[in-house]
Amino acid sequence: MKPSLYFRPTNLQEALTALSANSWSVLAGGTDFYPARLGKPLEENVLDVSAIDGQEKISFNDGRWRLSLQATWSDLIADNRLPARFDGLKRAAREVGGVQIQNRATICGNLCNASPAADGIPNLLALDAQVELMSLQGRRTLPIADFVKGNRRTFRREDELVTALLVPDSGRPARSVFLKLGARKYLVISIVMVGAVLELAEDSRIVSARIAVGACSPVAQRLPLLEEGLIGRRLETALADMVHERHLAPLAPIDDVRGTADYRRDAVITLLQRSLTELAR
Amino acid sequence: MTQQSIRFTVNDTPAEVSVDPLRRLADVLREDLGLTGTKIGCNAGDCGACTVLVDGRQSCACLVPIGQAAGHAIVTVEGLVAKGQLSQLQQAFQDHGAAQCGICTPGMLMAASDLLAQTPSPSEQDVLDALGGVLCRCTGYRKIVDAVLSLGKTTAAPVSRNAVVGARLPKVDGLAKMTGAERYGADSWPADSLVLRAIRSPHHHARFGFGDFAALFAAHPGLVKILTAADIPGQNVFGIYPTGKDQPVFAEGYARFRGEAICALVGDAATIAAIRDDEVPVEWETLSPLQGVEAALSPHAAQLHETAKGNVLIEGRLARGDVDAAITKADIRLSDNFQTSFVEHAYIEPEAGYARRVGDRLEIFATTQTPYMDRDEVALIMGLRQEQIRIIPSAVGGGFGGKLDLSLQPMIGVAAWLLNRPVRCTYSRPESMASTTKRHPASIAITVAATKEGRLSAVRFHGDYNTGAYASWGPTVANRVPVHAMGPYHVPAVYCTTRAIYTNDTPAGAFRGFGVPQAAIALETMLDDLAEKLDLCPFEFRYLNALDKGSVTASGQRLDASVGLRACLDALRPQWERLRLEAADFNETSRHLRRGVGVGCGWYGIGNTSLPNPSIMRIGLKRDGCITLYSGALDIGQGSNTIMMQICADALGVPLSIIDLVTGDTDLTPDAGKTSASRQTFVSGAALRLAADDLRGQILRLANVGEPGRFALDGRTLRVSDGVTDQVIDLARLPAAGENGDVLVGEGRFDPPTTPLDADGQGIPYATYSFSAQLALVEVDIELGTTKVLRIAAAADVGKAINPTQVEGQLHGGVAQGLGLALMEEYIPGRTENLHDYLIPTIGDVPPIDTYIIEDEEPLGPFGAKGIGEPALVPTAPAILNAIRHATGARVTRVPATPDRLRAALRATGRYEAAK
């Protein structure tokens, strides 16, 4: 067995240099890292990014919110500066494991783990978040949908580090929601979840709509047809009635221990209807 | 991984360790710093047992690399005690009975500490949210919630410091559970211990052979031994029943289930952790597995055990009256089929312990519910005499039946014996789930019949119980179920049959209720069907048919005393009527949420079914005037230590302060049988009363005083009086009578009076029965198929509550497990071997529980007491399922009623459409 490395850099440059020189597993909050390795010896190089400093965990600049790689779910929940468009993501944050997990797990880590049932991803899609990747080659950004490749796979290159999530904020009034269906109250993996963000004009007409569904496909999916149908409508109309089976085309639910594909198809319609009802409330 | 020096503080004290920075904080706390108060339940963030504070915030210590602790402040449960005093929070837990087994207590305390530091006067919702990440399997959470909410309030817990029977004495062994000092199976080991890890079959059914181990030894110099079946000194087989032992310690070329041990690696801890399972050279030939009873019963099925034709391990039967005629003659008859699933005990403490050789004896310190059976079985496996084996039970972090079978004891025993080195082992969570027993899945066919006046006429019941790859407690289930399947009702004609069927699934064994909860689901659902068809109130229908004093059971046993079912129902009736009205009101205006109220009843024979079931208890009096209670009645969290101390103090008339408790060590205590079948209070408690009488008699005879004599102990001075003359005896002058320095030793033996059952199951299977009834108020989301239980009212006739707080604790815990059985728990071999795919109720799933303790005294029981552990659970799932039906009209015939199944059942009623 070859000896493996552990490196906990304190600045970004060290981290990127290490990534360019070697193959590493990136460790942030550890809450997905350890469960995935239960009962197996550690035989990999581990880059622990938890000590990289120099950046505010959550900041706002030039019309964009920046959630840095150190930001945990608890940081997000506690941040009172975040506008209403983040309400859905905050609700998702409260559903990520128990408070113990929320205190350690990072938002970026949840995305990089790329579980089909990751509670954070539907609302990140609905927030139109961009992923910031850094390497010695430079910086690039990708939309969430172009970052997550599949079940537990992303398009991050081996020499890259996800350094932040960037959330555009038009400053327009917005509403957001997150609904999760699980078989118990706490510590539960989603059967189906819906995240949505609507941006509104002064007259409460919907000017942009982003609605994403999780746990019904290898990667959480937005529902463009439904979104298009919402644009231009007023919030007070019976939005829930607009949800139609044909909107679910991007989804590919499966049977697993948490529920059948048929059940998921049925339940997601209900969750979408309830999400829209709640947004209009 | 290279070691690094890491500095941090633990409980305000600087700590420095030189370790692999990726080691888990939980492991470093426990192994390097000796802080074993932090428990490891899953190593995956699923259970929260390892919760500690990192810079004041609750965190799972199993998910924090020690490298990330550098420079930070860690607080563990050991840090809560200040100046030798429990914190207010710890004291509240102790006073409220918030700990049972105590394995989750450190995690709960730490999560609550974080909450209270931020929110000194939390709401109930705050408490639920803050503690939602810690699982508890014993308490049903409600007393934990009460304890946390009590802080900052002036109302104290209703605690009695008095030991008398009936008092709310806090747990006598509770302090160690609060401080982290309690030693569970994984918390104690000799310093020079080797570590053992079993290698297990990844296949449900396979033949296998080993390759050459030489390369593995060469690659891992720290690997000391690979144990296989060939190393077993005695017989490579174990099992509950003396004539039916069928399970090997290590499979011999043929594995009958996924998770079966085929060999074990022994070496230093780092080496054993570094070896991948797939490095062990094994050639597998997979065979088609028989999963589920249908596959095992098919005519072409493989024969899994030579002795069991057609894979039928055993059949049970009870017949009374002419059931065919009674069904034909009845005014109404209904039939249906029911399915239940494997249920995992999910105690938060995985199996753990160590063994060491002491001369020509073997000592095993391990988590267990049955030290004496362990001793006898290990002796056969070791080829040693029983006296050569000493079983020292650790504190038990939950059992519920799952620690009645041997697990790691023979493996560590053989290793320690052969290597003459202490050997320790701790199961991982997946290993615990894959390899230890489960609740039997049942496939039930049932017919019930009644008169139009609502009198039950007949019950015909057949249950096939999937006992998995090995017998374990399959025979117990097959024999117990026919006696109980018609429920606690007067039914003139009964025909109940059962079979335990071998399959290639995980062995099913003992689990709180031994098959009775499964049968109750079928029967109690059918009773609601009958009530509906007869247009009767389901509650009053049960009351009408309830067993009462003078009733004759289906096994022909006349019940002359302690039949408190109707008293249970009387206690529940006001709430039944109110909740039914409230649910109807709610439903008038509700759209997608519908509420319903259901009732379920249960009964439970205490102790073994028609088999000898003795307990021996001993009390010693020492020269210094102290009493020693030698109790082999093992406390697995249910509270028998406290119960026995209360009985002992009251039966002798002495204060608790002069009684020392010695418990569960096969060298020190007589055989009190196993902690199962809800028997310890009734059987061992009765034996203890006899022991007290014996000691008291000896004391009176010593003073030559006749009845009604009294005695008092004042240090070494014993005063004995018959009301006329007083005798004063100096105990220090008496010769020691026992090996422990006791001058007098009282002993009591109690074996509940039962008779064998004849071929029709007629006889006296149990000396007494406990009765229980529960109501459930549920809210069903008809569009999603989810069920929220809003309230449970639980009544139980326990004969006499020796300690009401503990009876409530058993009721709460039984309700929580019954809720899980009804709604979410389904173990699927190979697919749900962790605590995130296998779901047990969290603190947010267990509703407020109203308890009603009925005390219809049992003349044979100590102070009238019977048992409560299992009767607490039996009615819960039926009550919930009947409440779902009341709410929605959907009948559930397969549990758990997961959201997808319930949604399908709702659609099947025709009342609810698909979402569109």
Domain edges within chain B: 29-61+71-156, 537-605+767-916, 615-750
Mean pLDDT throughout A189-216?
Answer: 97
At A258-279, the pLDDT tens digits run 999 999 999 999 999 999 999 9
User: In whole angstroms, what is the distance from residue B246 CA to residue B472 CA?
Assistant: 8
Mean pLDDT throughout B10-17?
Answer: 98
Residue B508, beta-bridge partner list: B438
Element (H, E) at A162: strand A161-168
- Strand ranges (E), B165-247: 194-200, 206-210, 223-227
Element (H, E) at B570: helix B565-589
Q: What is the mean pLDDT of chain A?
A: 96
Evaluate if residue B158 carries a pLDDT over 80: no
Evaluate if residue A17 carries a pLDDT over 80: yes
Evaluate if residue B293 carries a pLDDT over 60: yes
CA distance A168 to chain B (A): 31
Burial class (CB in 10 A: 0-12, 13-18, 19+), B356: buried
Q: Is A54 part of any domain?
A: no
For residue B89, name the pLDDT band (cuts at 50, 70, 90).
Answer: very high
Query: Which of A48, A99, A181 lies at the smallest CB-CB distance from B68?
Result: A48
Query: pLDDT at position B239, please?
Result: 97
CB B421 within 8 A of CB B380: no
From residue B235, give the alpha-carbon distance in Å to each of A120, B230, B356, B636, B839: 54, 10, 20, 29, 37
Query: pLDDT at position B98, please?
Result: 98
Residue type, B372: Y
Query: pLDDT at position B152, please?
Result: 76
Q: Which of A168, A184, A206 is the last residue of a domain?
A: A168
Residue A190, beta-bridge partner list: none
More confident residue, B713 or A3: B713
Angle between helices B804-823 and B876-888 (to 10 degrees): 50
For residue B768, name the pLDDT band (cuts at 50, 70, 90).
Answer: very high
CB A272 within 8 A of CB A220: no
Evaluate if residue A2 carries a pLDDT over 70: no
Co-location of A118 and A27 in the same domain: no
**A187, A194, A226: best mutation site toward chain B, by most B Cβ within 10 Å?**
A187
| Closest chain A residue to the Cα of B62, Cα to Cα | A34
User: In whole angstroms, what is the distance from residue B514 CA to residue B516 CA?
Assistant: 6
Query: Which of B20, B21, B46 lies at the smallest CB-CB distance from A187?
Result: B46
For residue B227, name the pLDDT band (cuts at 50, 70, 90).
Answer: very high
User: In whole angstroms, what is the distance from residue B118 CA to residue B225 CA?
Assistant: 52
Query: pLDDT at position B726, please?
Result: 87
Query: pLDDT at position B724, please?
Result: 81
According to DSSP, residue B901 is labeled H
- CA-based torsion, A270, A275, A278, A280: positive or negative: negative
Mean pLDDT throughout B238-261?
Answer: 96
- Give the domain CATH number at A110: 3.30.465.10
CB B329 within 8 A of CB B452: no
At B25-57, the pLDDT tens digits run 999 999 999 999 999 999 999 999 999 999 999
Query: Which of A39, A48, A104 lies at the smallest CB-CB distance from B430?
Result: A39
Q: Which residue has the tokens 């850094």?
A: A134
Q: Is A84 part of any domain?
A: yes
According to DSSP, residue B32 is labeled I
Query: Which of B60, B831, B839 lies at the smallest CB-CB distance from A183?
Result: B839
For residue A217, name the pLDDT band (cuts at 50, 70, 90).
Answer: very high
Co-location of A226 and A206 in the same domain: yes
Query: pLDDT at position B913, please?
Result: 82
Q: What residues 371-430 of chain B have any CB closer than 8 A to a CB of chain A?
A: 428-430
Co-location of A28 and A66 in the same domain: no
Q: Is A275 part of any domain?
A: yes
User: In whole angstroms, what is the distance from residue B64 CA to residue B266 CA?
Assistant: 27
Is A57 in CB contact (< 8 Å) with chain B? no
Residue A150 belongs to domain spanning = 59-168
For residue B706, name the pLDDT band (cuts at 50, 70, 90).
Answer: confident
Query: pLDDT at position B515, please?
Result: 97
Evaluate if residue A123 carries a pLDDT over 80: yes
Co-location of A151 and A66 in the same domain: yes
CB B500 within 8 A of CB B459: no
* Superfamily (CATH) of domain B29-61+71-156: [2Fe-2S]-binding domain (1.10.150.120)
Query: pLDDT at position B708, please?
Result: 81
What is the number of other CB atoms lying within 10 angstroms of the CB of residue A193?
Answer: 27
Element (H, E) at A27: strand A25-27
Q: Is A242 part of any domain?
A: yes
Q: What is the mean pLDDT of chain B?
A: 96
Q: Is A53 part of any domain?
A: no
β-bridge pairing B13-19 and B769-781: unpaired
User: In whole angstroms, what is the distance from residue B462 CA to residue B496 CA?
Assistant: 6
Co-location of A93 and A159 in the same domain: yes
Q: Which of A123, A138, A168 is the last residue of a domain?
A: A168
Q: Do A187 and B842 touch (CB under 8 A)?
A: yes
| Alpha-carbon torsion angle A227, A231, A233, A237, nearest 10 | 10
CA distance B501 to chain A (A): 25
CATH class of residue range B537-605+767-916: alpha beta
User: What's the pTM value of the predicted model, to 2 decimals?
Assistant: 0.98
Ramachandran angles phi, psi of B70, nearest 5° = -55, 125
Co-location of A73 and A142 in the same domain: yes
Co-location of A269 and A183 in the same domain: yes
Domain count, chain A: 3
User: In whole angstroms, what is the distance from residue A91 CA to residue A104 CA?
Assistant: 17
Query: pLDDT at position B382, please?
Result: 98
Alpha carbons within 13 A on the beta-carbon side of A8: 17
User: What percent of chain B stands above pLDDT 90?
Assistant: 94
Q: Do A100 and B60 touch (CB under 8 A)?
A: yes
Query: pLDDT at position B894, please?
Result: 98
Query: Which of B21, B48, B843 lies at the smallest CB-CB distance from A100?
Result: B48
CB A234 within 8 A of CB A205: yes
User: In whole angstroms, what is the distance from residue B766 CA to residue B483 CA?
Assistant: 10
β-bridge pairing B4-10 and B73-75: parallel
Co-location of A198 and A101 in the same domain: no
What is the number of other CB atoms lying within 10 angstroms of the CB of residue B723?
Answer: 9
Evaluate if residue A111 carries a pLDDT over 60: yes
From residue B288, give the alpha-carbon distance in Å to each of B206, B302, B647: 8, 9, 55
Query: pLDDT at position B159, please?
Result: 80
Is B832 in CB contact (< 8 Å) with chain A? yes
| Alpha-carbon torsion angle B288, B294, B297, B300, nearest 10 | -40
Evaluate if residue B156 carries a pLDDT over 90: no
Q: B772: which 2 tokens?
A: 């229980």
Element (H, E) at B526: helix B516-534
User: In whole angstroms, what is the distance from residue A269 CA to residue B7 CA?
Assistant: 53
Q: What residues 73-112 of chain B have any CB closer than 8 A to a CB of chain A?
A: 111
CB A183 within 8 A of CB B898: yes
- Give contacts of B431 with chain A, Cβ < 8 Å: 39
Mean pLDDT throughout B207-215?
Answer: 98
Phi-psi region of B467 (alpha: psi -120 to 50; beta: other; left: phi over 0): alpha
What is the number of other CB atoms lying within 10 angstroms of the CB of residue A171?
Answer: 9
Ramachandran angles phi, psi of A15, nearest 5° = -65, -45
At B461-507, the pLDDT tens digits run 999 999 999 999 999 999 999 999 999 999 999 999 999 999 999 99
Mean pLDDT throughout A92-105?
Answer: 97
Query: pLDDT at position B725, please?
Result: 82
User: In whole angstroms, what is the distance from residue B256 CA to residue B467 CA?
Assistant: 12
ipTM over 0.95: yes
Mean pLDDT throughout B99-117?
Answer: 98
Query: pLDDT at position A236, please?
Result: 79
Co-location of A66 and A161 in the same domain: yes
Q: Do B1 and A189 touch (CB under 8 A)?
A: no
CB B634 within 8 A of CB B369: yes
Domains B537-605+767-916 and B615-750 share a fold: yes
For B732-827, where are the alpha helices, taking DSSP H only?
A: 804-823
Query: pLDDT at position A53, please?
Result: 85
Q: What residues 71-90 of chain A have any CB closer than 8 A to a CB of chain B?
A: 74
CB B410 within 8 A of CB B391: no
Is B632 in CB contact (< 8 Å) with chain A? no
SS3 call for B93: helix
User: In whole angstroms, what is the distance from residue B651 CA to residue B688 CA?
Assistant: 8
Element (H, E) at B900: helix B899-908
User: In whole angstroms, what is the distance from residue A171 CA to residue A169 CA?
Assistant: 5
User: What percent of chain B stands above pLDDT 70?
Assistant: 100
Query: pLDDT at position B719, please?
Result: 94
According to DSSP, residue B82 is labeled B
User: In whole angstroms, what is the distance from residue B274 CA to residue B197 CA?
Assistant: 11
Tell me how many residue pairs between chain A and chain B have CB atoms under 8 A apart.
Answer: 175
Q: What residues 252-281 of chain B have any CB closer than 8 A to a CB of chain A?
A: 273-277
- Give the domain CATH number at A213: 3.30.390.50
CB B365 within 8 A of CB B188: yes
CB B888 within 8 A of CB B782: yes
CA distance A135 to chain B (A): 24
Collect all residues with Cβ–Cβ distance below 8 Å to A225 and sequence separation of at least 6.
A246, A247, A249
At A198-207, the pLDDT tens digits run 999 999 999 9
Co-location of A182 and A162 in the same domain: no
In CATH terms, is domain B615-750 a member of 3.30.70.2390? no
Q: What residues 423-442 of chain B have any CB closer than 8 A to a CB of chain A?
A: 428-431
Evaluate if residue A1 carries a pLDDT over 60: no
From residue B300, give the alpha-carbon distance in Å to each of B294, B468, B644: 11, 18, 53
